[in-house]
Amino acid sequence: MCSRRSSEDSATSEGEDAWEGPCGRLLLATTAKVKRGLRRQARQLHLYSNVLLISSSKFESNFTIKHSVPLRSLWVSAYLERSRRATSRDRRSLTVGWSRNSFVVTFS
């Protein structure tokens, strides 16, 4: 999994992030609602330079990785719920998919 470099060997230049490891550089970490079918769950999203990790958000210090998606197989599109006009929730939502999975991700 990804690791954090210690402060002694972190020569951060040009705003380089201290999180780097096999997953690449951490670009974004956030909480979002993930909807698949009728089920909606809170999840943590960790976007690295070459992988998207989707994990449970039950505990801050301990979490379970639900999906690990290489960015080369990931697709993202705008989301607009069928038979409705665009709402503020739709503007904060994306459809994210890979292979045979797809989710609607809504940011707060």
CB burial readout 11-43, b (16+ within 10 A) else e: eeeeeeeebbeebeebeeeeebbbbeeeeeeeb
What's the pLDDT tens digit per position in 32-64? 999 998 999 999 999 999 999 999 876 667 778
Q: Specify the pLDDT at position 6.
A: 38
Q: Would you say residue 100 has pLDDT above 90?
A: no
Q: How far, in Å, CA of 77 to CA of 93, rounded?
A: 9
Domains of the chain: total: 1
Least confident of 47-51, 65-69, 89-93, 104-108: 89-93
User: 96: pLDDT confidence band, cut at 50, 70 and 90?
Assistant: very high
DSSP 13-80: -TT--SBEETTEEEEEEEEEEEEETTEEEEEEEEEESSEEEEEE-S-SS---EEEEEEGGG-EEEE--
Range of the domain at 84: 20-107
> Does 45 fall in a domain?
yes
> Does 43 fall in a domain?
yes
> Does 40 fall in a domain?
yes
CATH code for the domain in which residue 53 is found = 2.30.29.30
> Does 98 fall in a domain?
yes
User: 19: pLDDT confidence band, cut at 50, 70 and 90?
Assistant: low
Between 13 and 87, name the one with better pLDDT. 87
* Mean pLDDT in residue range 16-31: 76
Q: Would you say residue 84 has pLDDT above 90?
A: no
> Does 95 fall in a domain?
yes
> Does 24 fall in a domain?
yes
Backbone angles phi, psi at 8, to 5 degrees: -70, -40
> Does 1 fall in a domain?
no
| Residue 102 per-residue DSSP state | E
> Does 15 fall in a domain?
no
